[in-house]
Amino acid sequence: MSAPPIALLNARLVDPERETERRGGLLAIDGVIAGVGPEVTRAQLPPEARIVECAGDVVAPGLVDMRVFIGEPGAEHRETIASASAAAAGGGVTSLVMRPDTSPPVDDPAVVDFILRRARDDAKVRVFPSAALTKNLAGREIAEIGLLAEAGAIAFSDGARSVAEAQTMRRAMTYARDFDALVAPVCEDESLRGEGVMAEGLRASWLGLPGVPREAETIVLERDLRLVGLTGARYHAAIVSNRLSLEAMRRAREDGLAATCGVSINNLTLNELDVGDYRTFLKLSPPLRSEEERIALVEALGDGLVDVIASDHDPQDVETKRLPFAEAAAGAIGVETMLSASLRLVTAGHLSLPRLLRAMTLRPAQILRLPVGRLSVGAPADVIRFDPDEPYVLDPAHLHSRCRNTPFDEARLEGRVKLTLVAGRVAHE
CA angle 324, 327, 328 (to 5 degrees): 80
Ramachandran area for residue 81 (φ above 0: left; ψ -120 to 50: alpha; else beta): alpha
Buried b (16+ CB within 10 A) or exposed e, 250-278: eebbeeebebbbbbbbbbbbbbbeebeeb
**Cα–Cα distance measured from residue 312 to residue 231, given in angstroms and rounded to the nearest whole number:** 28
Alpha helices in 179-238 (DSSP H): 190-193, 202-207, 215-231
Residue type, 229: G
In the set 57, 312, 314, 382, the catalytic residue is: 312
User: DSSP code of 137?
Assistant: G
Task: Tell me if 186 sits within 8 A of 160, measured CB to CB.
Answer: yes
d(CA 27, CA 202): 54
DSSP, residue by residue, 188-200: --HHHHTT--EES
Q: What are phi and psi of 355, to 5 degrees?
A: -65, -40
d(CA 10, CA 38): 9
Q: CA–CA separation, 208 vs 125, rounded Å?
A: 43
Q: Say if residues 117 and 176 touch (Cβ distance below 8 Å).
A: no
Q: Read off the amino acid at residue 99.
A: R
Contact yes or no for 211/178 (Cβ under 8 A): no
- The verdict on whether 312 is a catalytic residue reads yes
- Residue 54 CA to residue 408 CA, distance in Å, equals 27
Catalytic machinery residues: 312
